[in-house]
Amino acid sequence: MLPMMRNQTIKSWRSAEQWLLGSMVLALAMAAFIWLVLGPAPAAPAYLTAIVLLIVSLLASLIMMLRVGTTRRQMEAVLHGRARAEQHAIEALRHSEAQWKEVFEHNPVMYFMVDAAGTVLSVNTFGAAQLGYSVSELLGQSVLKVFPAEEQRVAQSNVAICLENIGQTHSWEICKVRKDGSSLWVRENAKAVRRLDNQLIVLIACEDVTERKQAENALRQSEMYQAEAQRLSHTGSFGWGAGSGEIIWSEETFRIFGFDKAPSIKFATVMQRVHPDDRARVQRTIDCASSDGKDFAHGYRLLMPDGAVKHVYATAHAVTDASGGVEFVGAVTDVTARKQAEVELHEAQTNLAHVTRVTALGEMAASIAHEVNQPLAAVVTNAAACLRWLDREPANLKEARGTVQSIVKDGNRAGEVIQRVRALANKTADQKAPLHIDEVVNEVISLVQHELLSHRVALRLELAPVLPLVLADRIQLQQVILNLVINAIEAMQPVKDRPRELVIRTRQDEASQVLVTVSDCGVGVAGSTNLRSLAACAFSASSVSPCNSSASSCGSSALRATRSTSSSRSSLALPSRSSATAASNCSGVFAPASFVSASRRPVR
């Protein structure tokens, strides 16, 4: 259209030039006509007048032609410049349109234009491809085609909201369905506008958020698993900013402390739940960790609103945040059940030790009867002898005094035997005291004299003359050694081809421990026998209960058992009084080590 207007303008200027040229020709014709009319000798004034008019007309025509030509050239230049500018503008507009079309078609955002009824008026190529369609397959179709059945009502409601609020932008997240049936989560931004033809349309821009949704679902599932694991293990997590004092807890931590879940909690509130007897110690631990910025771990009690007491154990790791401050990330575990189990286990061990002692009484009945009957028989014999010495004339007072002293000695011996038996039978707590191990061994020997004689076992004692005191419970230590001796005696029952000899040795090893070794010459064990299980039970016979708990309770650090096919040796290692005291001072509680397994080797 612009070139046509420019051509019309040029044509009009050319018509003006032609008109001027025609005017000049007409003027010349008029001059010629005047010349002809007036004749060859006209009057001078008229002739001059005609000549002047002719010349003036010619000059005016020339001037007008020059001005019209100049003006025409200027107008042509202006029109050509305007035409070039307009051409550039048109080309720029076409380029911009192509760019925007490229952006619209291939921008990684899905664009839809739908009318009030939900019919798709326009969709970009990327949006159609994301849903597995071509543009032609979606144009003119209902937009509900790309939504699953359960989301179609929500989609209709969203479009209706946009139509009710024209010009306002609305956002929501919704699930769409591809052509192949797979799901696609999108975030939609929509706005209703009115076109020039007064038609309402809804412009929708959709962003694919499927990966984010999957990550959120995975995170939510992970948090659910973590919360369930914390609930099952009674372990909560926490974060504590040492500088800000902010404390963040997991759901299980709130449950352990008995508080309602909240975004954060104050330190003063936590301290109010700590048991009054533990608050000072907990405060010192927290202050130390806050100033040093180091890891910490501590156990304390909680006093709940209902008066119940909980035992918890907290451990934390120090980390540095972005600002250079110290934060602690840790876990707190409810160990109340474990503490109760430990108490119950201790009670069970005490009961088991009592049952073991009472059971051992049945095995020692013959020895006890012999030990009690022997001093009582000696008392009766000595009393009769004393009467005979007194009945003599004169009475032999010296011999009578000697028999009375023997009576007193035998009576004390019987009392000691009964006292030891009562101590074994009584259900009493451990009473550790410094002991001479040789005295304990001699007391045990006095209890098994009858067993040694009845089984024809020769006893050989190799007791070290000077040994340090051991820290142990006398009665339980007697029971352990007694079990070892009875095991050795029973192990030698099948022996017929050689003397039965039982050797008890005491000595001090390189680690300053006192060793009690019981050796026999029994038949040993078969090659398939589990020596580890035998060592764990201290080679207890079927009629004697295991002495594991007694050995551990009396303070033994190790019970070693060695048995070959022709002999066996059991060693009881006891810490000396000095080493046991040092260990107690270092750890706070003296906990003896467990039994070690047996090794299969000959005993020299």
Q: Are strands 296-303 and 568-575 parallel, antiparallel or unpaired?
A: unpaired
3-state secondary structure 184-196: EEEEEEEEEEECC
400: in domain = no
**Which range is most confident: 56-65, 104-113, 248-257?**
248-257
Report whether pLDDT(102) > 70.
no
387: in domain = no
Are residues 128 and 134 in contact, defined by beta-carbon separation less than 8 angstroms? yes
Q: CATH number of the domain that 317 lies in?
A: 3.30.450.20
Please report, rounded to a whole number, the percentage of residues in the chain having pLDDT higher than 70: 71
E-assigned strands of 48-156? 110-115, 120-123
Q: Give mean pLDDT, residues 161-174.
A: 91
Q: Give mean pLDDT, residues 355-359.
A: 74
Q: What local confidence, expressed as pLDDT, does residue 566 receive?
A: 62
Whether residue 149 sits in one domain with residue 260: no
What is the CB-side half-sphere exposure of residue 60 using CA atoms within 13 A?
13
Whether residue 128 sits in one domain with residue 96: no
- The Cα–Cα gap between 279 and 243 comes to 21
Q: What local confidence, expressed as pLDDT, does residue 505 receive?
A: 94
Q: What local confidence, expressed as pLDDT, does residue 241 receive?
A: 86
Q: Return the higher-pLDDT residue of 597 and 165.
A: 165
Whether residue 446 sits in one domain with residue 543: yes
Task: Give the number of other Cβ atoms within 10 Å of residue 317's Cβ.
Answer: 13
Q: Return the higher-pLDDT residue of 366 and 328.
A: 328
Whether residue 537 sits in one domain with residue 435: yes
- The Cα–Cα gap between 417 and 410 comes to 11
Q: Return the higher-pLDDT residue of 93 and 198.
A: 198
Whether residue 133 sits in one domain with residue 61: no
Q: Give mean pLDDT, residues 492-505.
A: 89
User: Which two three-digit tokens encode residue 187?
Assistant: 């975030």
User: Which two three-digit tokens encode residue 115?
Assistant: 């009318």
User: Cα separations (Å) of 529 from 120, 196, 237, 428, 483?
Assistant: 86, 101, 49, 36, 20
Whether residue 188 sits in one domain with residue 325: no
Whether residue 230 sits in one domain with residue 203: no
* Tens-digit pLDDT profile for residues 437-483: 999 898 888 767 777 888 899 999 999 988 999 988 777 788 788 88
What is the CB-side half-sphere exposure of residue 239 using CA atoms within 13 A?
12
Whether residue 93 sits in one domain with residue 134: no
Report whether pLDDT(280) > 90.
yes
Q: Which of 139, 112, 115, 113 is nearest to 127 (CA)?
A: 112
- The Cα–Cα gap between 262 and 249 comes to 8
Q: What local confidence, expressed as pLDDT, does residue 604 receive?
A: 32
Q: What local confidence, expressed as pLDDT, does residue 317 receive?
A: 92
Q: CATH number of the domain that 509 lies in?
A: 3.30.565.10
Q: Give mean pLDDT, residues 320-340.
A: 88
596: in domain = yes
Whether residue 157 sits in one domain with residue 90: no
Q: Which of 169, 193, 196 is nearest to 116 (CA)?
A: 193
Q: What local confidence, expressed as pLDDT, does residue 486 receive?
A: 86
298: containing domain: 216-334
Report whether pLDDT(375) > 60.
yes
Element (H, E) at 513: strand 513-520
Q: Give mean pLDDT, residues 96-122.
A: 77
Q: Which of 207, 208, 211, 251 is nearest to 229 (CA)?
A: 251
Report whether pLDDT(373) > 70.
no
368: in domain = no
Residue 190: pLDDT band (50, 70, 90) is: very high
Amino acid at 202: V
- The Cα–Cα gap between 410 and 418 comes to 12
Q: Which of 528, 576, 536 is nearest to 560 (CA)?
A: 536
584: in domain = yes
Whether residue 314 sits in one domain with residue 171: no
Q: Give mean pLDDT, residues 197-226.
A: 86
Report whether pLDDT(127) > 70.
yes
Cross-strand pairs, 462: 505
- The Cα–Cα gap between 272 and 236 comes to 19
* Tens-digit pLDDT profile for residues 503-532: 999 999 888 889 999 999 876 544 434 434
User: Cα separations (Å) of 56 from 21, 147, 189, 264, 348?
Assistant: 15, 89, 80, 107, 147
User: Which two three-digit tokens encode residue 558?
Assistant: 């190790």
- The Cα–Cα gap between 323 and 307 comes to 42
Residue 140 — left, alpha, or beta (φ > 0 → left; ψ -120 to 50 → alpha)? left
Among candidate residues 307, 334, 361, the one where a domain is terminated: 334
User: Which two three-digit tokens encode residue 345?
Assistant: 């286990």
Q: Give mean pLDDT, residues 12-41.
A: 59
Q: What local confidence, expressed as pLDDT, does residue 583 receive?
A: 47
First to last CA, the chain: 126
Whether residue 91 sits in one domain with residue 112: no
Among candidate residues 157, 192, 208, the one where a domain is terminated: 208
Average pLDDT of the residues of the chain: 77
524: in domain = yes
* Tens-digit pLDDT profile for residues 385-440: 888 888 888 888 888 888 888 888 778 877 776 776 666 556 555 667 898 999 98
Among candidate residues 38, 71, 103, the one where a domain is terminated: 103
Domain count within the chain: 4
For the CA atoms of 573, 579, 583, 589, what is the dihedral angle to 10 degrees?
60
Whether residue 312 sits in one domain with residue 234: yes
Residue 32: pLDDT band (50, 70, 90) is: low
User: Which two three-digit tokens encode residue 322?
Assistant: 């972005």
Q: What local confidence, expressed as pLDDT, does residue 230 receive?
A: 81
448: in domain = yes
User: What global pTM score does this model have?
Assistant: 0.40
Report whether pLDDT(154) > 50.
yes
Residue 598: pLDDT band (50, 70, 90) is: very low
376: in domain = no
Q: Which of 194, 193, 190 is nearest to 174 (CA)?
A: 190
